[in-house]
Amino acid sequence: MNYRVIDKETYYRKGVYRHFTEDCKCSVSMTARIDVTDLIGYSRRTGTKFYINFLYLLSKVLNAREDYRMAYLWETDELICYDRIHPTQYVFHEDTETCTPVYTTYYEEYQQFYDEAQKDIEAAQQTRQYCLDAAAHPNWFDASYLPWISYDALNIELPDGYLYFLPIINWGKYREENGRYLMPVSVRMNHAVADGYLVAKVFRLLETEIQTFSSRSDNVQGEKQR
């Protein structure tokens, strides 16, 4: 775990940060449906899991900008930026209707991430423990899938005075609309480090990464088959 301390006096969001950490401590959340048609197609053609593929692209997007890797150290009153953040995913158990948190490491190399994420899921399926360990995993963001419903809105509430800066991401069941598959994604961030533009940017980056990933991966797959 590596991070650098941000100088709050030269921070490009200095005024916004001061206002939303002192005057009006609050969060901002947004839900939008993104087009996942290409990613579904790639997952089916390659026999890979759509869920892990999306988790990889989500992790890649959130690591692409410093704004999504910010955190607050209350012990020292410091604003920091992690070099890398990783997803905390959740494995659902049908028999007990409970979830097991899984700390999965983000790797830039797709195949390495895919293999390790799959191992994490398989290991979590053997337990029923709800064993969160945030103290040992400070640079892990929350990534939770709700496969039972294609919702229109979802809000994650934290105490307004709690300066939690890492993104909280949820997504639901995709559905077909006019021949395309759209999936609801919800992004929650603290207003001190993100405004509407930065939250909306997550959705735009996701759709771009989905298109690029599916296209490049198809090319690689074609080369392997020749």
pLDDT (tens digit, 9 = 90+) per residue, 146-167?
Answer: 999 999 999 988 876 789 999 9
Reading the block at residue 44, the tokens are 């089916």
- List, for residues 169-186, the tens digit of each pLDDT value: 999 999 999 999 999 999
Q: With bands split at pLDDT 50, 70 and 90, how would you rate the model's confidence at 199?
A: very high
221 has pLDDT over 80: no
Domains in the chain, start-ordered, CATH in brackets? 3-221 (3.30.559.10)
Residue bearing tokens 């790797």: 107
Question: 47 vs 5, 41, 43, 176, CA distance in Å?
Answer: 43, 10, 6, 21
Evaluate if pTM is beyond 0.75: yes
Q: Are 79 and 164 in contact (CB under 8 A)?
A: no
| 19-40 b/e (C-beta count within 10 Å ≥ 16 → b) | ebbeeebebbbbbbbbbbbbbb
pLDDT of residue 222: 41
Which whole number is the average pLDDT over 219-226?
Answer: 41
